[in-house]
Every structure is written in structure tokens, then in C-alpha cells.
Amino acid sequence: MSSLSGKQGPRYRHTADSTDPYETIGVEKLTPIIGAEIFGVDIAKLIDDEARSNRQMDEIHRALAENLVIFFRDQHITPQQHLAFGRKFGELHVHPAAPNEGDPALMKIYADKDSPRANGEGWHTDVSCDLEPPMGSILYIKQCPPRGGDTLFANMYAAYEALSDRMKAYLDGLTALHDGEQTYRGLYSNYGVADKREYPRAEHPVVRTHPVTGKKALYVNRGFTRFIIGVPRDESDAMLAYLYQHAENPLFQCRFRWTENAIAFWDNRCAQHRAMWDYWPHTRSGTRVTVKGERPV
């Protein structure tokens, strides 16, 4: 029996999103919990056509809020259109360590047979070590392997809601240190990127409230969270180990199978993700644009 279930059924039950129909886009959910493919949107035309843009953009915002990660297939956009699409959601974030593709806000994503690693192999939320971590990330994959290379996404609203009331009470008000040092130092040396003198670190609440939906989400991850502040280190280690395992439960997940020229747009404030590097010796490449966020509360 799942650790999330008992005689009364699962502790987390999905609450239905708005039943109002979409008018300008098609939305097909991957699972009831997280993820949706979006149809009827040509992002290149969306960038260039303001009349078309406003209504569709409103519905894309809504689809992201309701599904946490949304996917667009068969998109053909230039680097400048990629950047412009990101700017429709806010000011752009510059990664503190990664190489870029000619613009500081256009992050390079690349792995091939000679790579020592691939981007995002472990569960994380992007750059949570920043004082104001990114709101969202928009990944455009132009070349993908014939098999493998999927990305997994997990719903942190669901992870929080499935916790017992006693655990929620324990976590209420706790903060944790998120530190980029051990993650980023030396990480991009194969691209010839020199290490910086220091990398971001910040203290964030273990449970954050989403500024748009008002819902609570678990906000710790293996990639950047180092310890919970104000409790003994062995207690912190044990608690974080439990929370990581809990957050990564397949019941909270969807899995996206990439095709060339597809885009994934996820909300870092309420979702974690993990990229599978199971396609060696094939190549996977693209670019990522990230939108600035706010300090978690």
C-alpha cells in the first residue's frame, strides 16, 4: 500500500481546476495532478501579433497556474523570440554559473557523448539558492535523442497537502539554507567556464505560499537545500531526507517525452523537475530562458 494511502483513501486528492472552457488555446492534461500540453499556439506569431497575443497570453498564464508545467510542440522560434516570450512573463533572470548562447539570459543546454554530465540530472527547482529565485523556466529543445531524455516534474502543492497535520505544524515557520557553492563550483568547466569567487546562498521558508494562487507548496530540494535552520544537524538531515523522498513520490509526477522543437514552461515556485540522462551517446541540445521571481514567503 502507498505511504500516501490508508483506509480512508489517499491523503492528497486533486482539487479540480476551473471548469471554464479555454477560448483561444487547447489544453490536454498529462495527469490530473500536474502537466498539460497546449495546442493552437504558434509562439513565433504570438510574439509578433499583439492583437492575438493578449487573450492567448491570459489563457497561457491561466494554464500555467492550473497545471504548474505546460508544453508546446512543433515551435520554431529564434533566440530573440525565445527571449521575447520570456519577457511577456516578467524581467529575465541570468543564471549565476551556466554558459549562454550569445545573450546572458539565454542559457545553453547541451549534452553529447563527450559530456561529463547533463543539465538537471537530480531533483531540484531552478537556482533556489538565489535571494529571489526564478519564477519560471522556459526550455526549448531543438535536438533530442531518438529515445530517452524525458523530463520529470513533481507538484509541490500536492507534496505539501499530503503531509500529516502534525508534520505541517512542525514545518510551519521553519527556514532552510539554499546554497549554490557545492552545486555550481566546477560544474561547467567542460565548457571552459571559469568559477566565480562565490555563488548565491539564501534562507527560504521550508513551506512557501505561492504569490498568485495563494496555495502552500513544499520548498526544499536535493539540488540546493543544505540544512534546516534552528534545529540540530542530525534532525535536519533526517527531516530533509524524508521530505525529499516524499516530494519525489511518483503520485505527484508527470513525465514529458521530448520531440524536436518542443518547449516546456514550468513554475519553479510550486514544482520540481529532473532531467533523465539515459540517452548516451546521443545529443540533446537547446536553450533556456528564465523569468525572475520574488523572495519566497
Tell me the pLDDT tens digit for each residue of 214-227. 999 999 999 999 99
CA quadruple 13, 17, 19, 20: dihedral, nearest 10: 180
Most distant CA pair in the chain, distance: 57
pLDDT value at position 254? Answer: 98
| The CATH fold of domain 26-291 | Double-stranded beta-helix (3.60.130)
What is the DSSP secondary structure assignment for residue 208, as one 8-state letter?
A: E
Q: Which residue has the higher pLDDT, 252 or 182?
A: 252
Residue with cell 505560499: 209
The whole-angstrom separation of Cα 178 and Cα 226 is: 6
Least confident stretch, 9-18, 180-189, 232-241: 9-18
The whole-angstrom separation of Cα 134 and Cα 268 is: 7
The share of the chain scoring above pLDDT 70, in percent, equals: 92
pLDDT in tens, 93-127: 999 988 899 999 999 999 999 998 888 889 999 99
The residue ranges of every structural domain in the chain are: 26-291
pLDDT value at position 195? Answer: 86
The whole-angstrom separation of Cα 240 and Cα 220 is: 8
Q: 17 falls in which pLDDT band (50, 70, 90)?
A: low
Is residue 223 a contact partner of residue 125, using CB atoms and an 8 Å limit?
yes
Is residue 60 a contact partner of residue 245, using CB atoms and an 8 Å limit?
no
Neighbour-count burial for 229-246, b at 16+ CB within 10 Å, e otherwise: eeeeeeebeebbeebbeb
- Cell readout for 157 is 502543492
Residue 12 reports pLDDT greater than 80: no
The whole-angstrom separation of Cα 283 and Cα 144 is: 6
Residue with cell 492575438: 52
pLDDT in tens, 33-46: 999 999 999 999 99
Residue 51 reports pLDDT greater than 80: no
The share of the chain scoring above pLDDT 90, in percent, equals: 80
Record the pTM.
0.92
What sign does the CA torsion over 165, 167, 170, 173 have? negative
Q: 16 falls in which pLDDT band (50, 70, 90)?
A: low
Q: Which residues are catalytic?
A: 124, 126, 273, 288
